[in-house]
Amino acid sequence: MKRKKAYSRKGAYTWFIVPALVAIFAVIVFPWIFTLWMSLNDWRIGAESKFIGAENFTTLATNARFLSTIPRTFYFTILAVILPVILGVFAAEVFHQNFPLRGFLRGVYIAPMMATPVAIALVFTMMFQPQVGVLNYFLSLVGIPKSLWVYAADTVIPTLALVEVWQWTPLVMLIVLGALASLPTEPYESAVIDGANQWQMFRYITFPLILPFLMIAIIIRTIDALKSFDIIYVISQGGPGTASETINLYLYLQAFSFLQVGHSSAVVVVFFVIILALALTLLYARERLRWNQ
């Protein structure tokens, strides 16, 4: 009797989900399926489409321009993950202390990740200006030669990553700050008695304890950095040449400048597989970590 009631109640909760399910189906699941279908066709907006099976994928495997976007995207992603993790842990340690105006300053610190990326990108574009930009002025103050920032092929990716780091380090900080707040105090007390210094306490107590949270931050950051678009598109548009053309930029160009929706759908599928594979690998690493502890 009781069991039957619980069962029917679970059924009743379904009705709460139905409207969202319909909407999610229309704007999320339908595009997924349609993308898969387009990726199997020779399809250009405004022209007849033709089913060609896996041909879009096989031509992609030999497309030099597309293939060059992959290591470039990884280079950008590695910078945009590792630097925020290091700086974010440091910032979290700072915000874990007590100091005047802490709440206000924390709000200021996380403002970059809530600000409109296009607006941020525009301001950085002006700051990167090689002749009169303010960043080169700062470099000149400390005696470093002027940089071309986004205007040179070899500095464009690190420079764009710098903007991404500026914008998203606060997210890592917030995740780690939450982790620090949940730590037990006993290990630190005994460490102090044993005469451990600050670095040893961080290395042997704090770091292992926050590592699972750090892995979450790394996973989120990796997914977002791989997909980064606004910053790159506004600041460099993939240039100079194709020096900062990441997978997402290439994808956008193929789809909406060249209207090759069949080809770009195949790129979407490959891109999704790359993101999923990396996310699952990191997730697996996190589980391993938990098992070892």
Partner 1 sequence: MESVASYRVKKFVNRIALGFAVIVVVSPAIFVFLWMLSLSLKYEIDNIAYPPIFIPNPPTLDNYAKIFRESNYLLYTYNSVIVSGAATLIALLVGVPAGYGIAKGKRQGLGMLIMVARITPGLSYLIPLFMLFRLIGISGSLLALTISHLVLTIPMVVWVMISFFEDMHPELEEAALTDGCNIWQAFYRVAMPIARPGIAVAAILAFIQSWNNFLFGVVIAGRETRTLPVAVFNAMTFEQLSWGPVAAAALVVTLPSLLLTIFVQRDIVTGLAAGSVKG
Q: Which of residues 231-260 bind partner 1 (CB under 8 A)?
A: 233-234, 248, 251-252, 255-256
Residue 284 sits in the site that holds partner 1 (CB under 8 A) = no
Residue 218 sits in the site that holds partner 1 (CB under 8 A) = no
Residue 166 sits in the site that holds partner 1 (CB under 8 A) = yes
> Which one among 115, 144, 192, 285 touches partner 1, defined by CB under 8 A?
115
Q: How far is the CB of 128 from partner 1 (least distance, A)?
A: 12
Residue 202 sits in the site that holds partner 1 (CB under 8 A) = no
Strand partners, 42: 50
| 13 vs 292, beta carbon nearer partner 1 | 13
Binding pattern to partner 1, positions 126-145, x when CB under 8 A?
Answer: xx---xx-x--x--------
Residue 4 sits in the site that holds partner 1 (CB under 8 A) = no
| 103 vs 184, beta carbon nearer partner 1 | 103
Count, residues near partner 1 per rule CB under 8 A: 87
Query: What is the Cα Rg of the chain in Å?
Result: 24
Q: How far is the CB of 77 from partner 1 (least distance, A)?
A: 13
| 40 vs 171, beta carbon nearer partner 1 | 171
| 154 vs 193, beta carbon nearer partner 1 | 193
Binding pattern to partner 1, positions 33-72, x when CB under 8 A?
Answer: -xx--x------x---------------------------
State how far the Cα of 291 lies from the Cα of 288, in Å rounded to an integer. 5
> Which one among 109, 151, 188, 202 touches partner 1, defined by CB under 8 A?
109
Give the CA distances from residue 103 to residues 95, 106, 171, 175, 176, in Å, rounded to whole numbers and listed in that order. Answer: 9, 5, 16, 16, 16
- Of 79-108, binders to partner 1 (CB under 8 A) are 90-91, 94-95, 97, 99, 103, 105-108
> Which one among 2, 4, 27, 181 touches partner 1, defined by CB under 8 A?
27
- Entry field: residues in the chain: 293
- Peptide bond just before 170 cis, omega within 30 deg: no
